Each structure stands twice: as C-alpha cells, then as structure tokens.
Amino acid sequence: MPLKDYVCDTLKTLKTIDPEIHAFLPEPEREQRLMRDADRLMAQYPDPDSRPPLYGILLGVKDLYNVDGLPTQAGSQLPPAAFSGNEATIVSRLKQAGAIVLGKTITTEFAYFSPGLTTNPANPEHTPGGSSSGSAASVASHICHLSLGTQTIASVIRPAAYCGIYGFKPSLGRIPLDGVFPFSHTMDQAGFFTSRLEDLYFASPHIVENWVEHFEPVEIKPIVPAQAFLNQADADSRGAFQQFLEQLGNSGISIQESSLFANPEAINLIHKRLIAAEFARHHQDLYAMYGELYSPHSRDLYTEGIQIADAELESLQHHPSRARDELQRIMRSAGANLILSPGATSAAPRGLKSTGSPLMSLPFTHAGLPSLAIPWGVNAAGLPLSIQIMADWGKDEFLLKAASQIYKLLQESL
C-alpha cells in the first residue's frame, strides 16, 4: 500500500476508534503533520530498495518521551515548558529507521497510579493497565503496529497482559532514556508493544542497543518462582499459568520449581521506598512550583519519598544489583536460563480509577531482567490473560529466541 494511503487509513481508524479508547493525546494538526512527514520520507527514499527497515511504520510514543514538535506533559496538568528538552534518543533512532510518530499516547500522571482516560480495547469498562496505558491500547486496538512505553514497576508487562498483546521490557540499560522524563533513575526502563511476536522480533534490533541476532535454536530450561510469589495472582491467572506449564511439559520441556521470592513482601517494600525517594528528588523543584496541580496519588508518593533520608536511599540503591546477583545464583544452581510466571495478578480489573496490581512484575523489574508478556487465553468474561517470561540480565536476544521456540512448540501441540 502506498505510504500516504496507509497514513490516511490509519487516521480513519484513529478517528473511528480513539473516541472510545482514548489511547492518544489530542493533536489538532495531526493530519497535516503526518502528511508532511510522509512526503518528506517519500522524497528522501524514492527507491523502494533503498528504504530503511521501518519505512513508514506509524509509532505511538508515551507522553514521557520528548518528541520534536510535540509537547510533553507526562500525563499531568503541568505546563509543557516544565518538561522541555531534546528529543529522546530512541525516538530519533526510530525516525532514522523510517518510523513516523503517529502521536503521543496517554500515560498515568508521571507514570504512577493516577490514570488518564484510556480504556481497554478488550472491554472499555476495564482498565488497560498502566502506566503505559495509551501505548498498549493503541496497539491492541490496531491503530498502530508499534508503540513505546516505560516500566518502573510493571508499566509495560501489565498493560500488555491486560490488553492481550506482546510487551517487551529489555534489560535495564539496553534502551537509552535520555529525553524521557524520569520517575526513578535507578529503576526506570524502556519497552515497547506489538500485536504479534514476529513484529516484536523485527523491531528489537532498531530499539535495543547492540542487538546481536540469536539465530541458532536454544535449549529451554525454565524455573518458576516460589508458591508464595505465585499466590499473589488470582485463581484465573494461576489456572492459565498452570495450563501453560502443562502444555510446555507435554512438549518435552522440563520445568523446575524454585525458591525465588519466597518472601515477596520484602522486595515489594524495598522497591516502593526506592522509587518513592527518587521520585521525590526528581520532583522537588517542580513540586515547589506546581504542587497544587499534582494528583492525590502523586502528592502522597512525593510526601512519602521526601521523608526518606539520603542514607537510606543510598542503601536502597544498592539493592537491585544484589537482587540480580541472587537471581543469577539461583538460576545457575538450577541450571536454568528462563523464569516463568503469570503476566499479571489478574485479568484487567473493572473500572478506570485503578490500573491494577503491579506485583507480578515488580521483582524482575527490580533486578533489571529482560521481560516479555505473551497473550495466553482469556478468562470467563473474555478478558485477556498472559504469561511473563524472563531471562538473565543482558540475555534479551536469547529471551526472544526462546519465546519464539516456545510459541512454535505450543502451536504444534494444539
């Protein structure tokens, strides 16, 4: 399809679907801007054989990333001038690969718990998850093929799980975060969404730094966390997860139980205090100027974080690397190379006042592991369920290769 026809078709889809889904921030001159961008791209690459790999792909960008020509407000009521700065490196990189920014997607305020207007495409009476709410919904509703999110607790994996799409949060540090408004500089990580695993695979080399394709088949040796961790999920999610494990076992894959996160409350508390303290320090100047514009959730987090002493924060900042070391020790001891869990504690909850529980992703985010959400069936109400797959830190290419093999095995077993 010619590029301008594709842009026009996408705009029609956006105008039809987004008034109910609310994935994108309003942009009065969107059509004119997109046509200019399409004209520029066609003029730059008239020969199809010379076109870059993501030529013409329309991209949703979470409203934490700076994008030239588009304001950033981080899902808040603060003025765009508070977030001004250079375009995010990853946005510039995707543009250079041929992508066109379709628009800014809605995020919860400051990527925390106060939701925007976004609804779940599977059922608009339910949350899409957060904080990358609009990015997940834009892909799940087939408005765009690729969107960017961030994750400080569960903000890529959980909305992917709730919306029934693929979400990939690479290892801590493998996607640059300059030009992205921070929540917690120790824990912030970037990720992205697609509706198909092959699209995720195709986009990864253009998003994740120093990507080296994993061509050869890999041996799949997974473990699952301790029952105390899994018990944070509801019966539907645990049931779907057990079915997934049984099908893997029937395909010849041996799965080991482990002692991972036998006391999940401890790491949950450490992570919350770490991100609260760093949130408060990032917001100290903004809060002094605009505190009355912050939502109650954000004010509460700021108040909690500002009371955490510098000495405690310094100690908290050392914990993620220790948690990663312990994870690696347990995986080595078990001879494992993957960790499996439910993608979220439940299907998407009803209502839009909460974005749901982040607990199923929290410890893996804390350790900076690459994480992948894959859709896995639906519950009795027809809402998506999901599986989460993790690999060791830095093994992002291995994770996607293993996921593709698992997908193929499960398809063959049906």
Q: Which residues are catalytic?
A: 62, 131, 155
Q: Classify residue 356 by burial, with Cβ atoms within 10 Å: 0-12, 13-18, 19+.
A: buried
H or E element in which residue 39 lies:
helix 30-44
Phi-psi region of 336 (alpha: psi -120 to 50; beta: other; left: phi over 0): beta
Q: What residues contact 128, with CB distance under 8 A and at least 6 apart?
A: 118, 119, 120, 121, 134, 136, 137, 140, 159, 162, 163, 348, 355
DSSP 168-183: EE--TTSS--TTB--S
Rounded CA separation 70/83 (Å):
11
Cα 118–Cα 82–Cα 150 angle in degrees, nearest 5: 45
Q: Name the token pair of 80.
A: 């765009």
Q: Which residues, in sequence order, are CB contacts of 302 under 8 Å at separation 6+? A: 279, 280, 283, 287, 291, 294
Tokens of 70: 């588009």
62 CB contacts (<8 Å, ≥6 apart)? 104, 105, 107, 131, 132, 134, 135, 147, 148, 149, 150
Angle between helix axes 30-44 and 3-21 (nearest 10 degrees) is 150
Distance, CA of 347 to CA of 241 (rounded, Å): 12
Record the tokens describing residue 194, joined without a space: 């697609």
Beta-carbon contacts of 107 under 8 Å, excluding residues fewer than 6 positions away, are 62, 63, 64, 74, 75, 116, 130, 131, 132, 133, 134, 135
Amino acid 317 reads Q
3-state secondary structure of 91: helix
